[in-house]
């Protein structure tokens, strides 16, 4: 397989715009697609803010930031994915929606285009089965905040070819990230370990053992975590955490992954964390 150069990113939310930014910062031309122009405009603002942080820190020049943004073109349809070497999908965590996108991409892209999913826990093997060419489907799992976190977890579906896995591993290095490969399983490795910890921290709040603030500071002071599990849940999005717990619970059919009742209530109330301004902490609009 030739080197992957032209990159498409589907979904301009938190993860999608971060992925587009790091790929463009590494010199790759990117098409970022979302259904609405408003979502694409929000994504550009987020990327500008993130690049501005790096300029302020002195790790990026004004010119490099401008060049990064110039390498990203936006689209509201999937047609511009036709000339991409790889399309990375970072849309809603629903198997049928992701499978639908793969089916559409099958119609638009040539057979050699690689299809990567940033899914946080959906079975890659099931996703790959939705493509007419399942060997080209692979998981490329980025972490939030994407410009900062080093790891990309690469998940091989049962069907993924060695050539696709090798090409995606090389691309991950080329965008300055560290690849680690995992076989396909519910939650893969990182979220299988991380989400139950956040869920258990929420159970500690539910049982009234300590305040959210104290639980977070215990994990920072006692386990040297950069942020506590409840603040991390707010960063990731509590709806995303619930989604991962449900995938683990239903996938493994094991009660040890049961979502906390309080996690469900928080999501029902719309207290999703940073993105809604309220979760276990409060986040006034900047
Ligand atoms: N863009 C660019 N740079 C950013 C940034 C962004 N969006 N956010 C933070 N930074 C940079 C800052 O400029 C700073 O750089 P410096 O150290 O070189 O000066 C550095 O990151 C640290 O930022 P801050 O000083 O503002 O804040 P903290 O020191 O408190 O760090 C944090 C913030 C990086 C978020 C840190 O608390 C952390 O690593 N937390 C854990 C995050 C984590 O576990 N993420 C994984 C979540 S799981 C996931 O995403 C998978 C999904 O499937 C659910």
Q: Of 239, 232, 250, 199, nearest to 92 (Cα)?
A: 239
Q: What is the mean pLDDT of residues 182-189?
A: 94
Whole-angstrom Cα distance, residue 199 to residue 194?
Answer: 9
Whole-angstrom Cα distance, residue 33 to residue 87?
Answer: 10
Q: Residue 165's pLDDT band (boundaries 50, 70, 90)?
A: very high
Residue 158 reports pLDDT greater than 90: yes
| 143 CB near ligand 1 (under 6 Å) | yes
Residue 2 reports pLDDT greater than 90: no
* pLDDT at position 177: 98
| 94 CB near ligand 1 (under 6 Å) | no
Q: What is the mean pLDDT of residues 252-262?
A: 98
Average pLDDT, the chain: 96
Q: Residue 286's pLDDT band (boundaries 50, 70, 90)?
A: low
Q: Residue 208 region, left (φ>0) first, then alpha (ψ -120 to 50), else beta?
A: left
In angstroms, what is the span from residue 145 Cα to ligand 1's centroid?
5
Domain with CATH 3.40.50.720 in the chain: 7-183
Pick 7-183's CATH classification: 3.20.20.450, 3.40.50.720, 3.40.50.1360, 3.40.50.2000.
Answer: 3.40.50.720
Q: What is the mean pLDDT of residues 101-105?
A: 97
Q: Which two tokens stand for residue 9?
A: 């990113």
In angstroms, what is the span from residue 253 Cα to ligand 1's centroid?
33
Give percent of the chain with pLDDT exceeding 90. 98
Q: Which atom of ligand 1 is nearest to the CA of 144?
A: 50
Residue 228 reports pLDDT greater than 90: yes
Whole-angstrom Cα distance, residue 73 to residue 285?
Answer: 28
Q: Which atom of ligand 1 is nearest to the CA of 240?
A: 54
Q: Which CATH architecture has domain 192-269?
A: Orthogonal Bundle (1.10)
From the candidates 120, 123, 131, 165, give the one annotated as an active-site residue. 120
Whole-angstrom Cα distance, residue 270 to residue 272?
Answer: 6
Q: Residue 121's pLDDT band (boundaries 50, 70, 90)?
A: confident
Residue 163 reports pLDDT greater than 70: yes
| 144 CB near ligand 1 (under 6 Å) | yes
Q: What is the DSSP string of the chain?
A: -PPP-SEEEE--SHHHHHHHHHHHHTT--EEEE-S-HHHHHHHHHHHHHHHHHHHHHTSS-HHHHHHHHHTEEEESSSGGGGG-SEEEE---S-HHHHHHHHHHHHHHS-TT-EEEE--SSS-HHHHHTTSSSGGGEEEEE--SSTTT--EEEEEE-TT--HHHHHHHHHHHHHTT-EEEEEE--TTTTHHHHHHHHHHHHHHHHHTTSS-HHHHHHHHHHHH--SS-HHHHHHHH-HHHHHHHHHHHHHHHT-GGGPPPHHHHHHHHHT--BGGGTBSSSB----
In angstroms, what is the span from residue 149 Cα to ligand 1's centroid?
7
In angstroms, what is the span from residue 234 Cα to ligand 1's centroid?
13
Give me the sheet containing 137-141, strands edge to edge: 72-75, 30-33, 7-10, 86-89, 114-117, 137-141, 151-156, 178-183
Is residue 205 within 8 A of residue 280, CB to CB? The reply is yes
Q: Of 109, 57, 104, nearest to 83 (Cα)?
A: 109
* pLDDT at position 16: 98
pTM for the model stands at 0.94
How would you classify the pairing of strands 178-183 and 137-141? unpaired
Is residue 72 within 8 A of residue 89, CB to CB? The reply is no
Q: At what angle do helices 190-206 and 229-236 cross, to 10 degrees?
A: 120
From the candidates 118, 121, 191, 199, give the one annotated as an active-site residue. 191
Residue 41 reports pLDDT greater than 80: yes
Q: What is the mean pLDDT of residues 152-177?
A: 98
Q: What is the mean pLDDT of residues 228-251?
A: 96
Q: What is the mean pLDDT of residues 79-97?
A: 96
Half-sphere exposure of 59 (CA within 13 A, CB side): 9
Closest residue by Cα to atom 31, ligand 1, is: 226
Residue 1 reports pLDDT greater than 80: no
């Amino acid at each position: 397989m030739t080197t992957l150069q032209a990159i498409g990113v589907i979904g301009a939310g938190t993860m999608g715009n971060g992925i587009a930014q790091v790929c463009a910062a590494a010199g790759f031309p990117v098409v970022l697609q979302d259904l609405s122009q408003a979502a694409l405009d929000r994504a550009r603002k987020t990327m500008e803010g993130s690049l501005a942080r790096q300029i302020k820190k002195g790790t990026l020049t004004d010119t490099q930031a401008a060049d990064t943004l110039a390498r990203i073109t936006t689209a509201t349809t999937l047609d511009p994915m036709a000339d991409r070497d790889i399309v990375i999908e970072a849309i809603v965590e629903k198997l049928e929606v992701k499978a639908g996108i793969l089916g559409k991409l099958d119609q638009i892209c040539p057979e050699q285009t690689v299809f990567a999913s940033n899914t946080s826990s959906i079975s890659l093997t099931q996703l790959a089965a939705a493509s007419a060419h399942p060997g080209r489907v692979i998981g490329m799992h980025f972490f939030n905040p994407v410009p900062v976190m080093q790891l990309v977890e690469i998940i091989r579906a049962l069907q993924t070819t060695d050539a696709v896995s090798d090409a995606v591993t090389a691309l991950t290095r080329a965008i300055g990230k560290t690849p680690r490969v995992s076989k396909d399983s519910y939650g893969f490795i990182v979220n299988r370990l991380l989400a139950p910890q956040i869920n258990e921290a929420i159970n500690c709040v539910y049982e009234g053992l300590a305040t959210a603030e104290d639980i977070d500071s215990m994990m920072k002071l006692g386990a040297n975590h950069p942020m506590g599990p409840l603040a991390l849940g707010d960063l990731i999005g509590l709806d995303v955490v619930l989604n991962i717990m449900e995938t683990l619970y239903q996938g493994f059919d094991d009660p040890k992954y049961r979502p906390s009742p309080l996690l469900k209530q928080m999501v029902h109330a719309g207290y999703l964390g940073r993105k809604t301004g309220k979760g276990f902490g409060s986040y006034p609009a900047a």
